[in-house]
């Protein structure tokens, strides 16, 4: 059915785009000496050094002065996040950086989709990370609470909507076929002659008695 094909395409798109792998951090060692350098510029330099796309909130306006010695890039990022009260989240293709003050909470309610299966899916795709993107079930409801940076909330909300709506469409498009025995109906084959050929049309019940 057309609806089922569309459902499969939607789910394949989600599976191909939603997965959030760990940062690859491929590049040379990063080191920096700076005085009153905008923190956003430091973050850009760090991400460029390791060939990672980055989106930085315009609300990050602090400046950096000091030295960043060579070391594991994830440690450099975590140290900057701790020093300047930042939250980070990597969605598989983009690293997002926000002030911790932008941590948001949102409740998402499902019509059909199981909250447990939804959270299991998010974990299997490595979308969740603490504290930039977390999801927990709300006991006794068909809802989850999302806590994280704005980009996380947007992504989780989109996934929840697409998956739940896909299940609704699949349920609505289900077709039930039943076979009944008709004791008082007949279905006679009809035979036609066409260009010296005998054509037989299978009988269809048209009159019930």
SS3 label, residue 51: coil
86/6 same-domain check = yes
Q: How many CB atoms lie within 10 A of CB 76?
A: 23
- Number of domains forming the structure of the chain: 2
Global pTM value:
0.70
SS3 label, residue 172: helix
145/71 same-domain check = no
Spacing of C-alpha 80 from chain mean position = 28
25/91 same-domain check = yes
Residue 207 lies in a domain: no
45/19 same-domain check = yes
160/80 same-domain check = no
CATH number, position 112? 3.30.1370.120
Question: Domain end: 76, 99, 122, which one?
Answer: 99
By CB neighbour count within 10 A (0-12 exposed, 13-18 middle, 19+ buried), where does 86 fall?
Answer: buried
Nearest to 161 by CA among 171, 149, 172, 169: 169
- The residue assigned the tokens 């009988």 is 203
pLDDT tens-digit profile, the chain (209 residues): 444 445 444 444 444 444 445 666 777 889 999 999 999 999 999 999 999 999 999 999 999 999 999 999 999 999 999 999 999 999 888 999 999 999 999 999 999 999 999 999 888 888 898 889 999 999 999 999 999 999 999 999 999 998 888 888 877 665 444 445 455 555 555 454 444 545 444 444 444 44
95/106 same-domain check = no
Q: Which domain range does residue 41 map to?
A: 2-99
């Amino acid at each position: 059915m057309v609806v089922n094909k569309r459902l499969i395409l939607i789910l394949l798109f989600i599976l191909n785009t939603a997965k959030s792998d760990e940062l690859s951090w491929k590049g040379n060692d990063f080191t920096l000496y700076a005085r009153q350098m905008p923190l956003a510029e430091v973050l850009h330099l760090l991400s460029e050094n390791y060939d990672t796309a980055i989106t930085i909130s315009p609300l990050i306006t602090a400046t950096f002065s000091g030295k960043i010695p060579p070391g594991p890039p994830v440690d450099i990022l975590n140290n900057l996040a701790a020093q300047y009260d930042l939250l980070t989240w990597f969605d598989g293709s983009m690293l997002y950086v926000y002030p911790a003050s932008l941590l948001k909470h949102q409740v998402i309610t499902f019509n059909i989709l199981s909250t447990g299966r939804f959270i299991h899916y998010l974990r299997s795709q490595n979308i969740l990370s603490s504290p930039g993107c977390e999801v927990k079930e709300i006991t006794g409801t068909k809802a989850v609470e999302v806590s994280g940076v704005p980009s996380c909330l947007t992504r989780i909300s989109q996934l929840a909507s697409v998956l739940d709506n896909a299940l609704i469409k699949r349920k609505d498009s289900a077709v039930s076929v039943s076979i009944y025995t008709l004791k008082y109906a007949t279905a006679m084959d009809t035979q036609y002659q066409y260009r010296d050929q005998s054509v037989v049309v299978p009988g269809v019940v048209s009159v019930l008695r």
